[in-house]
Structure 1
């Protein structure tokens, strides 16, 4: 994997998110724990809601436009809606958030 540094973990509030611009569009990076982060596509597939503005709870996010809940591990929606968001490998190393550049490049080529 080819990791890119997108910032310090403290740049993302606990149980919050930040938007990151990439070649595949904007991603949402969520911090669900002290050192636990997730990266997913920022737009909800239903109405294009900005997921980085959604409510973060446990390892999930609720879309701010229509309340669909997405599992940040799998990208699957929970409940009656059958939507899915892309997920991206992300990790924390020495307090820095790292995204997998190769995974982002593969999504843009698909």
Structure 2
């Protein structure tokens, strides 16, 4: 079994992601939403609500949560878990260095 390797991709400056908003990154396998909270914390989830497939990047960010724009289901940005046991959005490792957001594309490219 092959081990996942870490490949950090520069998504851009933190300031390019709106406060309490998101920016999307398209990969060959999926679209990833990179969120920035009011307190400048950054999280990345697959841009798909686990309940009805809504685009999470278009949802309202409040605290460390996002509300799906289709039906207001609340998703935890830290874990990807949906409220009420409605599933889980896949989360991806991110880091911030020198004011830029980096996404682990090794994880993003895996199944």
User: TM-score, normalised to structure 2's length?
Assistant: 0.88
* 1:8 counterpart residue number: 13
1:26 matched to 2:31: yes
Q: CA deviation at 1:39?
A: 0.4
Q: Deviations over 1:53-93 (max 9, x none)?
A: 00001111000001100001111012x34221000000111
**Root-mean-square deviation over aligned CA pairs:** 1.3
* 1:59 counterpart residue number: 64
1:86 matched to 2:90: yes
Q: CA deviation at 1:104?
A: 1.0
Give me the whole-angstrom Cα distance separating, in 2, the residues matched to 1:3 and 1:65.
31
Instruction: Provide structure 1 residue ranges, at least 5 long, that are not aligned to the other structure.
Output: none
Which of residues 45, 49, 53 is equivalent to 1:44? Answer: 49
User: TM-score, normalised to structure 1's length?
Assistant: 0.89
Q: CA deviation at 1:105?
A: 2.0
Aligned length: 106
Instruction: Provide structure 2 residue ranges, at least 5 long, that are not aligned to the other structure.
Output: 1-5
Give me the whole-angstrom Cα distance separating, in 2, the residues matched to 1:87 and 1:105.
13
Give me the whole-angstrom Cα distance separating, in 1, the residues matched to 2:42 and 2:15.
11
Where does structure 1 differ by over 3 angstroms across 4 or more consecutive aligned residues? none
